[in-house]
A and B are shown apart, each in its own frame.
Chain A
Amino acid sequence: MLTLYGSLRSQPTRAVALFCLANSIEYQLHFIDLSKKEHKHPGFLAINPRGLVPAITDDGFNLAESATILRYLAVTRSVPDHWYPADAKRRARIDALLDWYHTNLRQTARYVFTKELQETVFRLPPAKKEEVESYKRNMIAAMDTLEREFLTEGPFLLGASKPSIADLLLACEVTQTQLLKKPDLEALLGPRPKIRQWLETLESNLAPHFSTVHSAVRKTAEFLEKKRNSKLQSAL
């Protein structure tokens, strides 16, 4: 049995869950509560000494790193070629995009976390303003590159006609921006029609699974909105 350790609030965990659902790969989600620091407990560290989610255990084989997990599942479950093409050049382009994601688009995670989750959900001291601004700049630069370079031809990344593992990993990162205040979200995605179209295409192409894996982040978005409104109410 495949066990997926993580939380659907974690973008890369979502991507792996979505891949499993889209390919009818049976798995069990072992919830790791990040807000309770369960990812640093000895039990989980035995699976992934880096203490990061997602991680999987596949019949006793432990593996960490979302892009690696996606590659491994694509190969071992013999999924359709478009997920991770066997052709060396097409595969190399997806690999390059996955690398780019780590050092660029993943800054979205830091921005959303420090701006909306760090204090409210994780009850940590607030991040410094310069730090948050720096993540925001990096995130915007990455979104621009995504909009102008990687989605020039559609409907999927790199002009592919069917999705790859890169589409899942990158899309689940972008969807984390649902946790931002509505005006901030509008400012970010409003002027980026290709990204918006790409997300809609993925949602319909992978229905109902895309929506299913996003239920946790939707709930968190609603919770944050309620908190913001009640803060506003008490300020009035």
Chain B
Amino acid sequence: MTLKVYGDLQSQPVRAVVLFCLVNNIRHELVNVSLIKNENKLPGFKAINPAAKMPVIDDDGFILTESLAILRYLAASRHAPDHWYPAEVKSRARVDSLLDSYHTNIRQTAPYIKQKELLPCLWGLPRGPDALIKFHETNMTTAMDLVEEYYLKPEEGPFLLGASQPSLADILFAFEYTQTQFLPREEQEKFLGSRSKTKKWLEVVEKSFAPHFGEVHKKFPDLIKKIEMARRDHVAEGA
């Protein structure tokens, strides 16, 4: 039975799982669960994952949630090349440490962008409270600083932790950054403008995974158009 990946390419961790499958030629079927239409809250999806979160995989009856667990599982069960999740215990521990830090750090990009831009522009809901947005922004920028100053070592290698080849962390982290494309241009510049190592790394990641990288972002042009139109409408209403 073909591996099923349930999710919406609008979601960063869904993109990470799908990209991993594409790059490693893992046969899979993406079952679209639309976030904008709240399809993750429907009984059918909740029967697979009661927490209503994505991605979820169904590997011949084995259901697994949580993107990091899914990526580790696929790396092991599909015997992906070692660089994705090294077998050597210290190299693996360094990747694990970065992956674990993801939840409370760079993943803050998600609620920041959601509360600030996606709720009003895609769901037509009120923007999140200012204090909450500020809280997520602070965590996000701290995480971005750490990536720029500590986790990227281009003098050793082009990928995270100075690796010469990508690990699971590279795709998981990179997609949090590409999500900033949903922010207004000036804001994107604010976050990425001064982080030169990060910009270079993102270029390398995109190039390394072409054309799949572009493919998992195929929903972006339409989503960005929708968001920009909604922003213009809000400004017009306010005028």
Query: CB within 8 Å of B: which residues of A?
Result: 49-50, 61, 63-68, 71-72, 75-76, 88-89, 91-93, 95-96, 98-100, 102-103, 106, 145, 149
Contact = CB atoms under 8 A, between A and B. Distances in A.
Interface in B49-83: 50-51, 62, 64-70, 72-73, 76-77
25 contacts: A50-B101, A61-B93, A63-B97, A65-B96, A65-B97, A65-B100, A66-B100, A67-B100, A68-B93, A68-B96, A68-B100, A75-B89, A76-B89, A88-B76, A88-B77, A89-B62, A89-B73, A91-B72, A91-B73, A95-B68, A95-B73, A96-B70, A102-B100, A102-B104, A145-B51
Contacts of A96: 64-66, 69-70
Given A50-B101, A89-B62, A102-B103, A72 B69 contact: no
Contacts, number: 73
Q: How large is the interface on B (under 10, 10 to 19, 20 to 34, 35 or more residues)?
A: 20 to 34
Contacts of A63: 93-94, 97
Interface in B76-135: 76-77, 89-90, 92-94, 96-97, 99-101, 103-104
B150 interface: yes
B146 interface: yes
Contacts of B103: 99, 102-103
Interface of B: 50-51, 62, 64-70, 72-73, 76-77, 89-90, 92-94, 96-97, 99-101, 103-104, 146, 150
A49 B148 CA distance: 13
Contacts of A91: 72-73, 76
B96 A71 contact: yes
B66 A99 contact: yes
Contacts of A98: 69, 100
Contacts of A68: 93, 96-97, 99-100
Contacts of A76: 89
A64 B89 contact: no
Nearest to B143: A50
